[in-house]
Amino acid sequence: MKSGKQDDTGLLRKYWLAEKRSAEAYRDLAEQESNLHRREVFLRLAEAEERHAARWEEELHARGVSPPGLSGGWRREWRRWWRRAVEPALVIRNLERAEDRQEEEYLGHRKAGLIPEELSAAYAEMAAEERSHSQVLQALGASSRPKSVAEGILARERWHKRGGGWVANAIYGVNDGLGAVFGIVSGVASATENQTHYVLLSGLAGMLASALSMGAGAYLAAKSEREVYEAEMAREAEEIARHPEEEKEEMALFYELQGFDREEAQAMSGKLFARPDQFLAAMSRSELGLSEESFPRPATACLSASISTGIGALVPLLPFFFCGGLWAISLSFAISLIAHFLVGAAKSLITTRPWWSSGLEMTAVGVLEAVATYTLGLLFRVHA
């Protein structure tokens, strides 16, 4: 480890400048923010960054070095103009990335031994605060101007439930099985001049493969999501144990962003902190949009995906069990397009699109699929 006090002046000057620039950006955002609660949050973030800068400036002076000059004049005016010209959400996203980078640099340089021992604790504290700032910015960025952060978080919660629920797996399973086997049936029927046993054999093989593939994929996805959730909860619990006051303050900030005043937010955060399990669950929802209800059981996801994929795949094959030739392929085409429309309409339950628009889109996809695979079959037609 480098122990000389002159060795780390370059890092300290770099950190001082980064903190001052972040504080400047937060004050610019506060200046143009009409929402009083959000404005107060921006100002408090600016004050925190200025405290960081003051700490690094103190260390620089102790080494007999002055901090670098913060560019003003036209450069400062240009930065201010840019922040007013673009959407605040873009500025917030840039600041969030900057906070993440700053946290990584603090931790990385500390771990690599590039800082003196007496500043190790300060670097760890700064990293924790930068992480907290990044999480607050996530909440701010998730809320567009007309929406509250609470609505933004609830929207993420609803998306997780739509994306991971067994109903969604079933609908997407039917869609996958129908599309895959309809393509197989069209292509093989074209290539073999509608020979029923070839169409059935290839279709049934495609049905089995699609069902097993979708089931395995849904199982592994649900299992991975739950594992990620458990890992994030463990990390959050560790953060609460290591930095209880910071986490309590962060929870208060989330309440403030939802419209509560400073005193109410701190009181609510304090009461919730007295119930560790509930506090942990609330922090994971506020910071990450995660809740245990968001994740399906892996076995349920697997069964719903497999069975629904099999059902969807069976639809184009049904006519070939009762007839053959042109009649079978014509009926398969007709009922498959109807099924495509119905599946598309059902998807509107989880995408919020108009049912007829979603249905027509899926029907168009089915037609293109049939034309493409039937044409491919013609190119490789096998004459008996």
Question: Does 355 share its domain with 321?
Answer: yes
Radius of gyration, alpha carbons of the chain: 29
- Mean pLDDT across 83-95: 76
At residue 151, does pLDDT exceed 60? no
Q: Which of 94, 117, 148 is the endpoint of a domain?
A: 148
Q: Rounded to the nearest 5°, which phi and psi values hold at 369?
A: -60, -45
Which of the 8 DSSP states describes residue 67? P
Q: Which of 88, 121, 148 is the endpoint of a domain?
A: 148
126 found inside a domain:
yes
- Mean pLDDT across 336-351: 84
List pLDDT tens digits, range 200-225: 999 999 999 999 999 998 888 888 87
List pLDDT tens digits, range 245-292: 777 877 887 777 667 777 888 888 888 888 888 888 777 776 655 556
Confidence of residue 1 (pLDDT cuts 50, 70, 90): very low
Per-residue buried b or exposed e for 132-171, using 16+ beta carbons within 10 Å of the residue's own CB: bbbbbbbbbbbbeeeebbbebbeebbeebbeebbbebbbb
325 found inside a domain:
yes
What CA–CA distance (Å, rounded) separates 58 from 247?
Answer: 27
Strands (E), 111-214: none
- pLDDT for 342: 92
Confidence of residue 115 (pLDDT cuts 50, 70, 90): low
At residue 184, does pLDDT exceed 80? yes
- pLDDT for 368: 92
Question: Does 217 share its domain with 344?
Answer: yes
Entry pTM: 0.52
- Domain membership of residue 133 as a residue range: 9-148
Question: Does 67 share its domain with 192?
Answer: no
- Write out the H or E segment, with its range, that includes residue 368: helix 355-379
Q: Which of 96, 113, 148 is the endpoint of a domain?
A: 148
- pLDDT for 308: 92
71 found inside a domain:
yes
**Helical axes 9-32 vs 88-111, angle rounded to 10°:** 160
179 found inside a domain:
yes
Rounded percentage of the chain residues whose pLDDT exceeds 90: 16
Number of domains in the chain: 2
- Mean pLDDT across 346-367: 83
- pLDDT for 295: 66
* 3-state SS assignment for residue 296: coil
Question: Does 181 share its domain with 90?
Answer: no
281 found inside a domain:
no
Question: Does 93 share its domain with 197?
Answer: no
248 found inside a domain:
no
What CA–CA distance (Å, rounded) separates 205 from 200?
Answer: 8
- pLDDT for 145: 39
What CA–CA distance (Å, rounded) separates 381 from 384?
Answer: 10
* 3-state SS assignment for residue 43: helix
Question: Does 33 share its domain with 128?
Answer: yes
Confidence of residue 165 (pLDDT cuts 50, 70, 90): low
What CA–CA distance (Å, rounded) separates 164 from 302?
Answer: 12
Compute the mean pLDDT over every residue in the chain, rounded to the nearest whole number. Answer: 78
308: which residues sit within 8 A by CB, 6+ positions away? 169, 170, 171, 172, 173, 174, 177, 214
- pLDDT for 178: 92
CA distances from 301 to 162, 164, 231, 249, 309 (A): 13, 8, 21, 38, 12
At residue 28, does pLDDT exceed 50? yes
Question: Does 54 share its domain with 103?
Answer: yes
- pLDDT for 141: 61
At residue 372, does pLDDT exceed 80? yes
The DSSP code sequence of 182-197 is HHHHHHHHHHTTS-HH
* 3-state SS assignment for residue 3: coil
Rounded percentage of the chain residues whose pLDDT exceeds 70: 77
264 found inside a domain:
no
- pLDDT for 331: 92
- pLDDT for 205: 95
